[in-house]
Structure 1
Amino acid sequence: MTTHTTGDTDEPVRDDHTPPSPAPDDTVDIAPEMGADRTDASGGDPSEGVDDEQSRVTTRAWRSPMPPQRLGLVMGLVAVVTLAALTGWLGYRAYQAHQAFEQRQLFVQVGRQGALNLTTIDWQHADADVKRILDSATGKFYDEFAQRSQPFIDVVNKVKSKSEGTITEAGLESQSRDTAQVLVAVNVKTTVGEGPEREPRTWRMRVTVQKVGNDAKVSDVEFVA
């Protein structure tokens, strides 16, 4: 603000371009606690004390020992769960071993019976003997034997041949999931017509057995030395 004198008086004259002085602020802030930065009487944040107290309580809870009764219960539950899992695993392994054993037994049994069927044929009931061979056959062996079955029956009937096989040894040579090779040793006695019984002959066969559903059948036969 600038002052001018007029005439003989020293009375100041207000310059119209000078903004008026602001009125004194007579308002009082009665709610300082509503501000964004609140502090307690000591100048600190009051929430810090609460957080520290919660941290101390949590620490004491973790460090406090578990009561013996509860610890025993927890250990007992862990032992029961572990034992149940171990029992289930051992049971499953035993089931698998049993299934594998039964399948090996099935393969060997079918191989033995297949070799016995092929070496035990009587001309007096050749049709039934050939049917038994076909009933236990599958795949290539079934197709080939079925084509030759009638000529075979005719020859057996003509010479009045009779053969009887006896299994002397049989064992599993190899096995895959659904197929196995069974080695079979057969002692065969043969008579033709009214002639004397011939000297027994020992044949060794490799019988291929194939799983068919829940059963197994002969899929190939090979004579080996």
Structure 2
Amino acid sequence: MGDDDKGDDEGNDKGNDKGDDEDEDGGALLKRKRPETERAKRPWRRYLRRSVLPALLIAALAVSGLLGWRQWQDHQLKVAGEQAQQAAIAYAQVLTSIDSNKVDENFKQVLDGATGEFKDMYTQSSVKLRQLLIDNKATAHGVVVDSAVQSESTDRVVVLLFIDQTVTNTAAPDPRVDRSRIKMTMEKVDGRWRASKVQLL
């Protein structure tokens, strides 16, 4: 083999060795760069965990709180409506029942369940009404046959009532049944439901 060929072979071997070394060095650099890149990403992940997750948690708690508040409010309205409706039924029967022998007691019960505008009106008319009932020996007994809540809030409820009232007096000694519809506004005063307005429909 000639010297030139020998030189070429040695050059090729050195070049190959050098290329292999460079490949190894390049691979090592890539390996070194990858962990650095991963480490560079980790702070962002930590940031996302620290900022986004708490925000999501707060949002979830806020939504849960809002839904809970609405459920509580709906429950309060439902309770108010039911309580006012029962109070209106009981009061309507007091209002439409009278015994001429117990007029003062009846009036006291009526005024006890009234408030505001209706209480003032009934107080003013009770003197004339009292004498009229006594003179005619009137008796009446009212029964609520149906009722419904028309509107409601936590302190004011409007109730519709259907009433059968059995009436007797000196002019009509035989009992007769009068059917009437009443719209009664109930207001919560000192923790108790009272009638503030009564309308015949």
Using the alignment, how far apart are the partners of 1:207 and 1:218 within structure 2?
7
Give matches, 1:28-43, under 5 Å.
none
Q: Which runs of 4+ in 1 moved over 4 A?
A: 56-60, 77-90
Aligned residue pairs, count: 163
2:168 touches 2:175 (CA, 8 Å); kept in 1? yes
- Matches of 1:122 and 1:58, distance apart in 2: 98
Higher helix proportion: 2
> 1:61 is matched with which residue: 39, 44, 47?
39
In structure 1, the gaps of 5 or more residues are: 1-55, 66-70
- CA distance in 2 between partners of 1:64 and 1:152 (Å): 88
Distance 1:62 1:157, change over 3 A: farther
2:89 and 2:68 map into 1 onto residues whose CA distance is: 31
Q: Is the 8 A contact 1:189 1:197 kept in 2?
A: no
Q: 1:101 maps to what in 2?
A: 78
* Alpha-carbon distance change, 176 to 192 in structure 1, aligned in 2, over 3 angstroms: same
Percent identity, please: 27
Q: Output one character per residue of 1:175-225: Cα deviation in whole Å (capped at 9) or x when no partner.
A: 45643322111000012259643221101111122232422211111111x
Partner of 1:139: 116
RMSD between superposed Cα atoms in Å: 3.5
Q: 1:191 aligns with which of 168, 182, 187?
A: 168
Q: Which residue of 1 aligns with 2:131?
A: 154
Q: Please give the alpha-carbon distance, in whole angstroms, between the structure 2 residues aligned to 1:62 and 1:213.
A: 67
Q: TM-score, normalising length from structure 1?
A: 0.59
SS, match of residue 209 in structure 1: strand
The gaps in structure 2 that reach 5 residues or longer are: 1-33, 44-48
Residue deviations 1:79-118 (CA, integer Å, cap 9, x gap): 9878766654444333212101011112322322232122
Instruction: Give how far 1:122 is off.
Output: 1.0
Q: Which has the higher contact order (CA 8 A, sep 6+)?
A: 2
Q: Distance in 2 between matches of 1:177 and 1:97?
A: 10
Partner of 2:97: 120
Q: Name the structure 2 match of 1:201.
A: 178
Q: State whether structure 2 residue 149 is matched by structure 1 residue 172.
A: yes
CA distance in 2, matches of 1:80, 1:202: 59
Post-superposition offset of 1:156:
1.6
Give the TM-score of the pair, scaled to structure 2: 0.65
